[in-house]
Amino acid sequence: LMFSLSSVFFAGCGGSFVGVAQVKLNESATLPCVNQCAGRVEWTCVASKEVVAQCDQNICKEERGYKLGSEKIRAGDLSLTITSADFRKKGFYTCDCNGVTVCLVSLRIECKFVPVKINPNESLLLEVPVREPVEVIYNSTDAAGSSSKQICTVDGRSLRYTAEYKERVSLVCAVRVQEVMPSDGGIYIIRDTKNKEIVQTFSVTVHGRLFLS
């Protein structure tokens, strides 16, 4: 079904420019569009159908976090700037000139990779950089073989956990795994539960001796 809808949408755009803008989380992003337009320019988020920026000659109206310059438009540059790209803003955007789509651009957010070295008995902090519902997945890489399991889910500032991690997991703008053991080394993934997109990946190495109290 998704493939069919995509095919119809692209066909409807005719000869318009199709592009991709990929940036890191919270960085500025430019959705490219070069075209001569003497009238009204509109950028629309496809998912929400919201017009995020529009210019009609010298008068521009922009939603917060979006920028579209009339001087650049007169020079043939219809590109839209997103001042801080996050997962709420990702997806497809169309640029229309006088009601005709001239550009279709996809905004993508890069997954951040974070290497972590930690000693046994210390606490592991896994930053959760978004407010959207996410899950924390642990992929083991120990000598016993690889395995994958969900540790917990995070929705806004609430936390639900599996019984195994009840006494070891807490949320402080990050997921904290307490009293790390050598067997906790591996890959920890923060994944958006709605879109199943990876937000952040932690490669955790536990080194040093484990001292028992």
The CA-atom distances, in angstroms, between 203 and each of 51, 114, 124, 187, 200 are 40, 6, 11, 5, 10
Residue 165's pLDDT is what?
85
- Do 73 and 127 lie in one domain? The reply is no
Kindly give the confidence (pLDDT) of every residue in the chain, 213 residues in length, as a single tens digit, with 9 standing for 90 and above: 232 223 223 333 445 678 999 999 889 999 999 999 999 999 999 999 999 999 997 899 999 999 998 899 999 999 999 999 988 898 999 999 999 999 999 999 998 899 999 999 999 999 988 878 899 999 987 766 678 999 999 887 677 888 888 778 876 678 899 999 988 999 999 998 887 889 899 999 998 755 555
Domain boundary among 51, 79, 109: 109
Which letter, b or e, does each residue of 138-171 get, where b requires 16 or more Cβ atoms within 10 Å of its Cβ?
bebeeeeeeeeeebbbbeeeeeebeeebeebbee
* Domain end point (choices 109, 137, 172): 109
Residues 124 and 175 in one domain: yes
Statement to judge: residues 118 and 202 lie in one domain: yes
Q: What is the CATH number of the domain that holds 57?
A: 2.60.40.10
> Coil, strand, or helix at residue 8?
helix
Residue 46 dihedral angles phi and psi, to the nearest 5°: -65, -45
Q: CA–CA separation, 26 vs 94, rounded Å?
A: 21
Same domain membership, residue 121 and residue 33:
no
Please provide residue 20's backbone torsions phi and psi, each rounded to the nearest 5 degrees.
Answer: -135, 135
**Cα separation of 85 and 50, whole Å?**
16
Domain count, the chain: 2
For residue 110, CA distances in Å to 128, 130, 196 come to 15, 13, 14
Specify the pTM. 0.67
Containing structural domain, residue 181 = 112-206
